[in-house]
Structure 1
Amino acid sequence: MNQHVKKSLLSMAVLLLAGCAAIPPDAHIPVKRDIAKADLATDIHLAREGWPQARWWTAYGDEQLNALIEQALRDGPSLEVAAARIGSARSELSRSMADTGIDIGGYANANRQRYSGTGLFPAPIGGAYFTTETLRLEARYNFDWWGKHRAQVAAAVGSLNVDRAAYAQAEQALAAAIAQSYFRLQGDFARQDNLAQLTAVQTALAQDRTRRIDSGLANADTGHAAQADLAQLRKQAAQLKTDIGVEREALRALLGADHTALADLKPVPTSAVAHTLPARLGIDLLARRPDLQAARWKLESSLSRIDAAKAAFYPDVNLTGSIGLDTIKLENLLQAASRTVYLGPTLTLPIFDSRRLDAQLDATRTARDERIAEYNQAVVEAVREVAQDALQVQGIEQQIAEQAASSAATGAQLASVQKRFERGLADNAGVLNARLAMLRERDADLYLQQVQRLAEVALTNALGGGYHEQAPLATVLK
């Protein structure tokens, strides 16, 4: 290697080092919450341990519910926005990947101009008109020595993973919302039927009171009280009818269906499903909650943007080359003598750009701090939701056990009154009152069953609704 080449390489190395702007230190990095330590209080537990399964709603064995959720996941309007965001993220990733590697383009030009007679070119060029034709194939290669483009691609991958997780979250939220709306409807259907029986018995009791009053065996106050109770039952029936109509419209909106949908929706008795709660949450909660995955990928994407901002502090080296044809006479364009060749490096030094680079880096670090705070808050909220929903299910189970005892006692009372009535030891009013008490207990049973279904769905959704993290897109790209 001769002395001239050595001096050239040394000069280039000095330029590279001198062209590096100083990267300001990262003074404060927030602490990311360790989700592995996330757990529930020891007194929060259910009879069975485990996580929800995919398509958890099929466990209820209700074909109507299955069809509604499948329809919503296929055509639901709330998923269209999430799908559009995935498309935008894919476009951004494609653009970022297009900036890496070799960039090849073609160039063609034809122009006619008059050269100045007193300019750089003397006669016969000066003062004459000439037509110039150019064909050129250009190529540009960015070495990306400092990983700027790789970091930008990684940030775009992170954003796409965020939107994929957000789509999964939208799916789970939609399935849970439809299941809860459906269970409210079914609960109201069952209570409406029970209320019709209550109204019939109360009507019979009011008629019995009227007969007793007409016979002089009771005062008018008992008749007024019976009529007041009957009016209250009719008011409850009107409210239930309104609730059913409102809930049906809410379900139509979730499905994105028109006014003719759900016309054939039928009352179906709901079956009990054994609900589960994992013994520990920890890192599994991160893998099974799409919203936590979205928060994690937002943080990963922000870290990649910091890497890209740091790489901008270093010199940028590109290699540019071209081959082509250039002539001032069209008939000579394709001749060998018209060919042109160019090859040369381009060195960009951020010497006087430190303030802008500092501001860009500070912005990315601030965004990272926000993402860490959002991630930590998402973890806290996720654990809170699981704990509260599990306590709700646990509490309802206890209420149902007590309600069963109350219903059993009321049923025994009804059986006793009926036996005494058959022996002539009790009147018809006593039997009707016992039946009213039994039907009111039945209404309480139905209400608790409805609340239990809603709490089960809420807990299932809080545990991720059967979601499990897919292979990250970065792995697929590799």
Structure 2
Amino acid sequence: MTSPFPGRRLAGLAAALLLAGCASTSGIAPEAKLREGPLPAAATSESVPAVSSQWWREFGDAQLDALVEEALRGNPNLGVARARLRRAQAVSEVANAASLPQLNGALDLTRQRYTENGAVPRPLAGSIRESGTLQLNASWELDFFGKNQAALDAALGSAKAAEADLAAARIVLASNVARTYFQEVRLQEQLAVARRTLAQREEQLKLVRQRVGAGLDTNLELRQSEGALPEARQQVEAVQEQAQLTRNALAALVGKPEVPAVGALPAMAKLQGGTAVPALPADLLGRRPDIAAARWRVEAAGKDVKSAKAQFYPSVNLVAFVGLSSIGLDKLLDLGSTQWGAGPALRLPIFDAGRLRANLRGKTADLDAAVESYNGAVLEAVRETADAVTSLQSIGRQQAEQHQAESAADGAYDIAVQRYRAGLGTYLHVLSAESAVLNQRRLGVDLAARALDARVSLYRALGGGYAAEGATVAAH
């Protein structure tokens, strides 16, 4: 006797398959733990950005502004980051499409000979006929266990990470342009000092020769002065070489064949950005694009784990088709050739030789790797910020001492000049005093350049004005 409740038997069969077929996820769990690095002691509770998104403009140099903007437009590495962002956005669109109903059309035309020894009866058996099918197929996977949504969330997280990577690439590029530009400025100042040193050595040699001719000095002093001259020329040549290499590096960063020559650069004094440390926001780590990218990757990896777990459960699809099918193409468009069908489709993994568990273990390992990468990025961010703050504060103290030393050297030089004009000293004493002044100027140029470089490093460590969108990560 036929059961009056066939639906109950089907439901019972489906439940039995569900219980028997679902593989276990036990024993597979992430091991890594998210950590937050301690903020530097100077951090405050400010909620405003620590720096401007165009921080390089604070140096007040139009030429630097133009170089940075040119680099942001044309640097190839930045183009690669933009392409990766577009790729990630396209992947998220593909993932989103998987959760929506699908509709496709099919047209099949076949000329076929039917076997005489098969299940096809005569008159088809042994005949050659043409057949055709014109059909629309529709399907929609019902995401009961969240597999497609998790995959979509993972793709969106990867797209957010790529977007943060692009912001990080922009900051790194702008900081490299600024640091290279300031290096060029430093070499310009050092070249001026080296040329003055060469001129001084030439004047000193000329005086020593005169004194040797007058019997006031010996050949020892003459040889010492002659040896100092090629050394000074070598220093000039070395600085010129460094300046050319720096211009080449700047041209590569900017993506243009030529950059300003040494003489066209501004004086170091006009670029002083100061050594004061700006207020550090309490949410410092969230304002760095590399930290945000690492966090979004943890988010995406967590969603991948969720999607991998959902694959252990059944997939339910609603499928339907409607169309025309006939043997003989002349009847394909007849109303009697109409066919249609609709119904659910259940797919349940029963035995997969461990494929699903292996896939879940792999996704879990990816999550652990993403968490540890994030932890490493946090530690590196804290170190970079602390280093930049330490350098700025130390350079400020060194500059204060150097200014006093330079002031003393200038005073000694003025006294030597006055004694020479009064006939109480020789011009060699003047040149010797000037050597101390030049040494202090060389040191002052280096400290000023280090201050500029450290300030750029701090801007970069503070995220360069990046405003991150938060990612709430559930790692486990």
Summarize the Cα distance change of 1:434–1:264 in structure 2 as closer, same or farther, 3 Å threshold: closer
Aligned equivalents of 2:309, 2:30: Cα separation in 1: 17
- What residue number does 2:7 align with? 5
Aligned equivalents of 1:280, 1:71: Cα separation in 2: 29
Aligned equivalents of 2:280, 2:64: Cα separation in 1: 30
- What residue number does 1:269 align with? 267
Given that 1:40 and 1:281 are in contact with CA atoms closer than 8 Å, whether structure 2 keeps it comes out as no
Query: Does 2:134 correspond to 1:132?
Result: no
Summarize the Cα distance change of 1:380–1:18 in structure 2 as closer, same or farther, 3 Å threshold: same
Aligned equivalents of 1:89, 1:117: Cα separation in 2: 55
Report the TM-score, using the length of structure 2 for normalisation: 0.91
Structure 1 stretches of 5 or more lacking a match? none
Given that 2:78 and 2:169 are in contact with CA atoms closer than 8 Å, whether structure 1 keeps it comes out as yes
> Residue type of the partner of 2:64?
L
- What residue number does 1:285 align with? 284
- What residue number does 1:341 align with? 340
- What residue number does 1:208 align with? 207
Summarize the Cα distance change of 1:265–1:152 in structure 2 as closer, same or farther, 3 Å threshold: farther
Task: Compute the displacement of 1:386 (Å).
Answer: 1.2
Task: Compute the displacement of 1:196 (Å).
Answer: 1.5
Task: Compute the displacement of 1:473 (Å).
Answer: 13
Deviation by residue 1:3-27 (Cα, 9 ceiling, x = unmatched): 4434443443443344322222345
For residue 106 of structure 1, give the secondary structure of its aligned residue in structure 2: strand
For residue 322 of structure 1, give the secondary structure of its aligned residue in structure 2: strand
Moved more, 408-417 or 115-124: 115-124
> Residue type of the partner of 2:256?
A
Summarize the Cα distance change of 1:167–1:473 in structure 2 as closer, same or farther, 3 Å threshold: farther
Summarize the Cα distance change of 1:263–1:196 in structure 2 as closer, same or farther, 3 Å threshold: closer
Task: Compute the displacement of 1:402 (Å).
Answer: 0.6
Summarize the Cα distance change of 1:424–1:278 in structure 2 as closer, same or farther, 3 Å threshold: closer
Deviation by residue 1:152-193 (Cα, 9 ceiling, x = unmatched): 111111111221111111111111111111111111111111
- What residue number does 2:372 align with? 373
Summarize the Cα distance change of 1:111–1:50 in structure 2 as closer, same or farther, 3 Å threshold: closer
Given that 1:109 and 1:133 are in contact with CA atoms closer than 8 Å, whether structure 2 keeps it comes out as yes
- What residue number does 1:73 align with? 72
Query: Does 2:25 correspond to 1:23?
Result: yes
Superposition pairs of residues 456-475 of structure 1, within 5 angstroms? 456-470=455-469
Aligned equivalents of 1:275, 1:99: Cα separation in 2: 54
Aligned equivalents of 1:443, 1:277: Cα separation in 2: 25
Aligned equivalents of 1:95, 1:306: Cα separation in 2: 19
Report the TM-score, using the length of structure 1 for normalisation: 0.91
Equivalent pairs, count: 465
Aligned equivalents of 2:376, 2:446: Cα separation in 1: 34
Aligned equivalents of 1:101, 1:402: Cα separation in 2: 70
Aligned equivalents of 1:308, 1:155: Cα separation in 2: 9
- What residue number does 1:228 align with? 227
Aligned equivalents of 1:15, 1:217: Cα separation in 2: 112
Task: Compute the displacement of 1:279 (Å).
Answer: 5.3
Given that 2:247 and 2:259 are in contact with CA atoms closer than 8 Å, whether structure 1 keeps it comes out as no
Given that 1:185 and 1:244 are in contact with CA atoms closer than 8 Å, whether structure 2 keeps it comes out as yes
Summarize the Cα distance change of 1:186–1:264 in structure 2 as closer, same or farther, 3 Å threshold: closer
- What residue number does 1:39 align with? 39
Aligned equivalents of 2:274, 2:77: Cα separation in 1: 30
Aligned equivalents of 2:274, 2:18: Cα separation in 1: 67
Task: Compute the displacement of 1:31 (Å).
Answer: 1.7
Aligned equivalents of 1:180, 1:431: Cα separation in 2: 37
> Residue type of the partner of 1:25?
G
Given that 1:24 and 1:358 are in contact with CA atoms closer than 8 Å, whether structure 2 keeps it comes out as no
Aligned equivalents of 2:140, 2:263: Cα separation in 1: 63
- What residue number does 1:190 align with? 189
Aligned equivalents of 1:409, 1:371: Cα separation in 2: 56
For residue 430 of structure 1, give the secondary structure of its aligned residue in structure 2: helix
Aligned equivalents of 1:274, 1:206: Cα separation in 2: 40
Superposition pairs of residues 305-324 of structure 1, within 5 angstroms? 305-324=304-323
Deviation by residue 1:377-401 (Cα, 9 ceiling, x = unmatched): 1111111111122212221111111
- What residue number does 2:115 align with? 116
> Residue type of the partner of 1:432?
L
Given that 1:134 and 1:327 are in contact with CA atoms closer than 8 Å, whether structure 2 keeps it comes out as yes
- Identical-pair percentage: 33
Query: Does 2:429 correspond to 1:430?
Result: yes
Aligned equivalents of 1:50, 1:221: Cα separation in 2: 64
